[in-house]
Amino acid sequence: MQQIISTENKPIKLWLKDIDIGAMEQAKNIANLPFVHSHIAIMPDAHQGYGMPIGGVMATDGVVVPNAVGVDIGCGMCAQRTSLSSLENRQLKGIMDLIRKNVPVGFKHHKKPQDSRLMPKLEKQGVRVADLPIVSSEYHNALTQLGTLGGGNHFIEIQKGSDGFIWIMIHSGSRNLGYRVANFYNKLAIARAESFGIPVPKNWQLACLPVDSDEGRLYLREMEYCVAFARTNRHVMMERVREALQTVVGPVRLGECINIAHNYASFEIHFHKNVLVHRKGATSARKGETGIIPGSQGMPSYLVKGKGNQESFTSCSHGAGRKMGRKQARRSLDLRKERKKLEDQGILHAVRGKRDLDEAPGAYKDIDQVIENQLDLVEVTVTLRPLGVIKG
């Protein structure tokens, strides 16, 4: 932990020293919410989000805040080790070409619905798709988005690990399904704020739903479906990448799949109370739990093992974190220099023109400093360096 701010109703515990003004203001807002439990934890990759900082962790008593989960519900990371120890450059290019043909990126989706048997099943929890109004209305569209990457900071990377093996890593979420659920319930929380009697200033963008209300219970069920859909989405893309590898290099074995979310809320016990922990751009880091902290393209990513630090609500960062906004990056970064950084490392990258500068290495914080700031939360087990990057 780098610092503690004690000027608000609840302490703010930060794992970074240089937080941007907007994110700090948002951290203070959530620290003054009447339903917050114990304190607020801000991870070392934190930056301004919508309502709550990305890289923020908040435990609440009795309510759920849709904007403290975010619009890409269930967004997260997937990583898998292959049995390969190396790839020739021509093989890497062939693999990436096949991935681009079989995995739609950006706003693209499949022309035909994917197999509905791949979709998440929640019947064991007594929940049917028909019981979920937004999920059921978006179900057909979701079938065409299953196994698609999306845009922004989502990526597929082929990497070389410090363990000597080639790895596959994917960052993606719940696509339009999570966006629709998030927006619907945030608007519902705003509309019902007065009847719920929970005072939250409108300009904070942190309207909430009581977890024991019909609206709160329904949001949590739809959120859980979106988390499961995002996990399945990453799994389907991983299968497509495996198929591309096998087409180019022959039989490939894959190790255990690490598939984790970093935008969700879950009931957990912290400081002797059962609370709802909101992680918005933060990863669970219980003692011994495996996590993934990616860098930007051009920077290494890390597999980590959690230390179970209660001060962060057993959480860690979800990545490097932005140090400049997308528009600022496009205006201020030098395209030639950013491309050279990547090409000097021999990386097959995705920075083609000025519009791609928002995802250039220079737009992100130093991942090694981010890791250094949270060594009380995790320990590094494998370092993964990018060989080829696909982005939307």
The residues, any chain, with a CB within 8 Å of residue 214's CB and separated by 6 or more, are none
Token pair belonging to 281:
């751009």
Longest CA pairwise span in the chain (Å)? 63
Quick check: 78 and 123 in contact, CB under 8 A? no
State how far the Cα of 257 lies from the Cα of 353, in Å rounded to an integer. Answer: 34
Token pair belonging to 190:
């705003």
318 among known catalytic residues: yes
| Tokens 């705003």 found at | 190
Strands 258-261 vs 282-284: parallel, antiparallel or unpaired: unpaired
State how far the Cα of 311 lies from the Cα of 28, in Å rounded to an integer. Answer: 17
Looking at 39, 154, 262, 318, which residue is catalytic? 318
State how far the Cα of 11 lies from the Cα of 67, in Å rounded to an integer. Answer: 21
Closest CA to 78 of 322, 359, 310, 294: 294
With residue 26 as reference, give the H or E element that holds it. helix 21-31
Residue 387 to residues 69, 158, 163, 349, 360, Cα–Cα distance (Å) = 32, 6, 15, 8, 15
State how far the Cα of 166 lies from the Cα of 83, in Å rounded to an integer. Answer: 7
State how far the Cα of 106 lies from the Cα of 104, in Å rounded to an integer. Answer: 7
Q: Where are the alpha helices (DSSP H) in 84-213?
A: 89-102, 133-145, 175-191, 193-196
Sign of the Cα torsion 298, 304, 307, 309 reads: positive
Half-sphere exposure in the Cβ direction for 150 (13 Å, CA):
22
Show which residues are catalytic: 318
